[in-house]
């Protein structure tokens, strides 16, 4: 299971806490004695692949290091409706101050992991891997891509800086697939491969002839995708993308592509219903 690197997150956590808590939880200050302690449980209200529990624990620790946070299930577990995910014990004001931020993140990340797992299941038995994209929530990319991995998917490039992907607007700007590909190949660092987006078989041939290290088949139908895989014949990585709804995944994966990228994993996943209940 992939691990969270909190060196990338502690500054974010502090900002998120400041956004919600500010100078203090005025409702709890007015209603709950400062010395009051208690216990609460995180409960899933549906079937899900759970993601984000370690960051919830870090939020509680940041707000109050004396609050005890105990996991009842492992990160990435498949849980059922009514299952207890974690228990917290300690100062009630601290628990309530940590509640909404923790829930927001667990619900969002678990939704992504759960959706990813359903896509991965459709590709099972083939070599195709399910990948995410850059269609993420600003500020949450690291966590959303983490959730994709928890759900069994793989990460595409993290940003514009760590992978070369020539898309339609690059091609339009330079005039052809060939010109864009050759420009990238001539100037790319030796450790980065050049992937080229193509929308038809003629562009595919042009990309291959120009030295592309990988091709992204953009919105091709299943028959064209299968023909593209035959033409490539294993020479470069083949990625399928565009309109990759769940009902298409099994068929597309059987065409022989290496990767199926699905933007919906991060831009359209529904949050899982989870509650924090004082017990």
- Positions marked active-site: 100, 135, 167, 197, 218
Rounded Cα gap, residues 102 and 86, in angstroms: 12
Element (DSSP H or E) covering residue 170: helix 168-174
Strand pairing of 78-79 and 274-278?
A: unpaired
Closest C-alpha to 50, from 3, 2, 114, 98: 114
What count of residues does the chain have? 279
| CA dihedral (220, 226, 227, 230) positive or negative | positive
The angle subtended at Cα 250 by Cα 246 and Cα 251, nearest 5°, is: 110
């Amino acid at each position: 299971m992939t691990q969270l690197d909190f060196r990338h997150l502690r500054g974010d956590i502090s900002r998120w806490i400041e956004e919600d808590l500010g100078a203090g939880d005025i409702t709890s200050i007015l209603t709950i004695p400062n010395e009051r302690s208690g216990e609460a449980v995180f409960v899933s209200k549906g079937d899900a692949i759970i993601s984000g529990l370690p960051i919830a624990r870090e939020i509680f620790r940041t707000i109050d290091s004396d609050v005890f946070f105990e996991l009842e299930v492992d990160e990435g577990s498949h849980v059922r409706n009514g299952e207890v995910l974690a228990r917290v014990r300690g100062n009630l004001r601290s628990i309530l101050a940590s509640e909404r931020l923790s829930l927001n993140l667990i619900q969002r990340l678990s939704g992504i992991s759960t959706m990813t797992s359903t896509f991965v299941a459709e590709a099972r038995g083939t070599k195709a891997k399910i990948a995410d994209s850059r269609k993420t929530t600003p500020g949450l990319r690291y966590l959303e891509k983490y959730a994709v991995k928890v759900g069994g998917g793989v990460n595409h490039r993290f940003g514009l800086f760590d992978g070369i992907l020539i898309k339609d607007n690059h091609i339009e700007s330079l005039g052809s697939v060939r010109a864009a590909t050759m420009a990238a190949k001539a100037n790319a660092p030796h450790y980065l491969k050049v992937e080229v987006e193509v929308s038809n078989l003629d562009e595919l041939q042009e990309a291959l002839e120009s030295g592309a290290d990988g091709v992204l088949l953009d919105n091709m139908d299943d028959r064209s995708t299968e023909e593209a895989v035959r033409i490539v014949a294993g020479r470069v990585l083949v990625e399928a993308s565009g309109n990759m709804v769940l009902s298409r995944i099994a068929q597309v994966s059987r065409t022989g592509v290496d990767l199926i990228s699905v933007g919906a994993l991060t831009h359209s996943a529904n949050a899982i219903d989870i509650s924090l209940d004082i017990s």
